Structure 1
């Protein structure tokens, strides 16, 4: 069993003794710490947005988090199966006080995590993270009386709204994509990308979308980290010919790997570089900003 507590969130394997894995009690403790921190921020909003990937523990963890936040008097907007970028966009769009993404990203199915966002839809800062951890250690939680419990609502339209926002970007040429009649294979490792990516490609006018591991069961068909050694299934399909591109995402759809038409990996390092090259050319040059966990290839 493993439980990792850091400023970026709480990540662990499901089960085991309290404090040694991500048990229900640990989920409640850290959700309460985050919710308590939210109530100390200078915001008029009491709304917290939550969304999750499809991993097996996701529904359980989501219900625990939602109930804990309501118990603190916070209102919860539950996006259900979603993506990390979608939750990040919805937080400021709904003027929420913060958000929690329930995903262990590229970690295997026995893992889950609480990724914590501020009111701007960004990951909380170093100092904010330490405040949340201190609250968890002290367990200084003040839950609301019954007349002031928070509300709970769901919204299954936000993914469509996110796709509409992508289509509205000036550098996204839907007509050019449609004219090429692309044939694309998608590997979404049995998580929420199996919903999001095919829907996006259809909206972009991609002619054929071949779905591989796109049922959002949470029972990952392979190691979910999009590295070449984990992507042999999609590579074999592309090697046979008939497709223009392979798209692979991790469980919460914040990592993208592209596979060339011959089955060779394009590489995550080059994906951001290729996009930056396109954007800079369209805008007559400029500078780029990235962190080390993205790539150093932009330097």
Structure 2
């Protein structure tokens, strides 16, 4: 069982020992540290925090602990209840709140939960801010309000619909065009809050929806990470229903993947590529994705006359680089779309609306749309870490072995070869080294991954 404290929040498995897992005590402690930081930052006696959660089983328990910790500090809480990460993100500025907390462990299995922390813009905290909160929690440096100064909780369950309406009002979302295309779509929302939000969005766009695992019970019917091996039921259902495509999101609706009409993966990496192709075709500008994302985005951006840049992995790093690069769209290759015209956060609802408009304009099958993009193939692997492994030394040695190639070290080690690349990094959310490779064929990507793993094991002596 695991508890991972990082600058982006606290994530862990439910139950077990305090300080080793995400227990009620840990939830209270970390919520109190965030609330204390927010009181200091805002300078207000009664700042406002928006709180929402995905549908995982532990969500209601963790949310009650978090909200009551905040009101114990004198903070006013706006409770969105079942929500999505991007919905909470847009609610913070719409409510003129001082911060936000999302209770979700994203793509992790049901035994996990987490507190994701937002600033007054509805954006994730930076490293300095996160470090301050960790220090407050470490020192137990919080003082609670007296009985006459306690905060309150106000419920507002309207924000998913407000979020959808905001998406539909974006200039590049053409609802009429999508309606005229008369699309049929199968949705797998892994029994979380995407089951509320995605069908609602699609129906407002005139799409015929077949719902698969759209009951927000928190009992995930398969591993919730939207990868090919987890989406067998969706792939089969698309073919049976003769649907135009399948759509799947992760439990908190910030990762998006498509299935083509033949039941084949469009490719999580290509979600951003397709949306960027559409946006760049309408608006000249630049793009950003992280170091572990496909080269296809670079190719598409340059085709449209823009500039592509890569950031360190992590949404906050992508957002910082997007602002620096004046990027008009960006995100991560895990299906995360960041479209600043809406907000600076990964948002599957925005991605769906842009993709469907693009698809309706192209008037081709999803498989044909995918075939129109540069063909790259990726292999994603990992090595489990043990306390005895000196990860930094392993990565340093790998860098040294590849010193004659183009090497980037802003986040782990990325080596760019002529027709391929490999990126090694220590995960922020799991005790592993992630190994991403990309090449012009799947075989080449897999072989590069295998040879890299052998090199790492040799360096580590395992």
TM-score (structure 2 length as normaliser):
0.63
- Aligned residue for 1:244? 244
How far apart, CA to CA, are the structure 1 residues paired with 2:37 and 2:232? 44
How far apart, CA to CA, are the structure 1 residues paired with 2:291 and 2:135? 27
Kindly indicate whether residue 60 of structure 2 is the aligned counterpart of residue 42 of structure 1.
Answer: no
How far apart, CA to CA, are the structure 1 residues paired with 2:142 and 2:83? 29
Query: What's the offset of the Cα at 1:286?
Result: 1.8
How far apart, CA to CA, are the structure 1 residues paired with 2:146 and 2:240? 63
Structure with more contact order per residue of length (Cα contacts < 8 Å, sep ≥ 6): 1
How far apart, CA to CA, are the structure 1 residues paired with 2:177 and 2:247? 19
- Aligned residue for 2:123? 122
Contact kept, 8 Å, 2:42 with 2:98, in 1: the verdict is: no
- The secondary structure found in structure 2 opposite 1:62 is helix
- Aligned residue for 1:223? 223
Q: Deviations over 1:59-106 (max 9, x none)?
A: 000000000000000000010010100000011111111000000000
- Aligned residue for 1:113? 114
- Aligned residue for 1:5? 5
Q: Deviations over 1:169-205 (max 9, x none)?
A: 1111101111111100000000000000000001111
- Aligned residue for 1:192? 193
Query: What's the offset of the Cα at 1:288?
Result: 1.1
- Aligned residue for 2:286? 287
How far apart, CA to CA, are the structure 2 residues paired with 1:104 and 1:150? 26
Contact kept, 8 Å, 1:69 with 1:75, in 2: the verdict is: yes
- Aligned residue for 2:452? none
Bigger mean CA deviation after superposition, 238-247 or 259-268: 238-247
- The secondary structure found in structure 2 opposite 1:216 is coil
Unaligned residue ranges in structure 1 (runs of 5+): none
Query: What's the offset of the Cα at 1:291?
Result: 3.1
Unaligned residue ranges in structure 2 (runs of 5+): 299-462
Q: Which has the larger radius of gyration?
A: 2
- The secondary structure found in structure 2 opposite 1:40 is helix
- Aligned residue for 2:172? 171
How far apart, CA to CA, are the structure 2 residues paired with 1:70 and 1:129? 21
Kindly indicate whether residue 128 of structure 2 is the aligned counterpart of residue 136 of structure 1.
Answer: no
Contact kept, 8 Å, 1:87 with 1:121, in 2: the verdict is: yes
Contact kept, 8 Å, 1:241 with 1:261, in 2: the verdict is: no
Contact kept, 8 Å, 1:48 with 1:97, in 2: the verdict is: yes
How far apart, CA to CA, are the structure 1 residues paired with 2:144 and 2:64? 17
Alignment of 1:142-161 (within 5 A): 142-161=143-162
How far apart, CA to CA, are the structure 2 residues paired with 1:294 and 1:209? 30
Q: Deviations over 1:15-73 (max 9, x none)?
A: 00101100000000000000000001135561000000000000000000000000000
Kindly indicate whether residue 75 of structure 2 is the aligned counterpart of residue 61 of structure 1.
Answer: no
How far apart, CA to CA, are the structure 2 residues paired with 1:243 and 1:273? 22
- The secondary structure found in structure 2 opposite 1:198 is helix
Displacement over 4 Å in runs of 4+? 293-296
Aligned residue-pair number: 297
- The secondary structure found in structure 2 opposite 1:288 is strand
* Gap change, CA 1:15 and 1:296, over 3 Å in 2: farther
CA RMSD between the two structures: 1.2
Query: What's the offset of the Cα at 1:211?
Result: 0.4
How far apart, CA to CA, are the structure 2 residues paired with 1:159 and 1:16? 34
